Amino acid sequence: MSNAPVSAPALAPVAAATVSPQVQANAIRALAMDAVQAANSGHPGAPMGMADMAVALWGRHLRHNPTNPQWANRDRFVLSNGHGSMLIYALLHLTGYKLPIDELRNFRQLHSKTAGHPEVGHTPGVETTTGPLGQGITN
């Protein structure tokens, strides 16, 4: 297993070099809308509003390795507003972490890796458990 960081752009497989950041952000928005609608529960606003920033951050700045989520030299992304969890789940899915589309389809369902709030140790790539607004800053 390589410890090398993913080079920019990090969003793959959906976000190949030929896919614009706008298309990548729209993919996050679509995944968030679909998951929240299917679950009849959740908060789509944060993923929709933060998608452009997330694409820029994950694709150009953060060092991470989807094949080795515990790589010691990775940058940590903490989604402090945990109710916007579909943002991080969509990012993890699109960047090649072990979070298949079926897990996104099971958003907020019992035994799913995509709980209503991110949980460390439950979903590969989630760095800390968050829930109430601002909790991430105390972690």
What are 26-67's pLDDT values in tens digits? 999 999 999 999 999 998 999 999 999 999 999 899 999 999
The answer to whether residue 73 is domain-embedded is yes
The answer to whether residue 5 is domain-embedded is no
Domain count, the chain: 1
The answer to whether residue 124 is domain-embedded is yes
**pLDDT computed for residue 65 by the predictor:** 92
Full-model pTM: 0.84
Average pLDDT score over residue span 91-110:
95
Nearest alpha-carbon partner for 94 in 120, 115, 64, 116: 64
The answer to whether residue 132 is domain-embedded is yes
Nearest alpha-carbon partner for 79 in 44, 31, 127, 40: 127
CA distances (Å), origin 76, targets 69, 81, 118, 125: 10, 15, 14, 9
Maximum separation of any 2 CA atoms in the chain, in Å: 39
The answer to whether residue 41 is domain-embedded is yes
Q: Do 62 and 75 touch, CB atoms closer than 8 A?
A: yes
Q: Do 32 and 67 touch, CB atoms closer than 8 A?
A: no
The answer to whether residue 16 is domain-embedded is no
Q: How far apart are CA 66 and CA 10, in angstroms?
A: 9
Percent residues over pLDDT 90 in the chain? 68
Report the CATH number at residue 81.
Answer: 3.40.50.970
Nearest alpha-carbon partner for 127 in 113, 114, 110, 139: 139
The answer to whether residue 85 is domain-embedded is yes
Average pLDDT score over residue span 6-28:
66
Nearest alpha-carbon partner for 32 in 16, 54, 13, 15: 54
Question: Is the confidence at residue 126, as pLDDT, over 90?
Answer: yes
The answer to whether residue 4 is domain-embedded is no
Q: Which domain holds residue 83?
A: 21-138
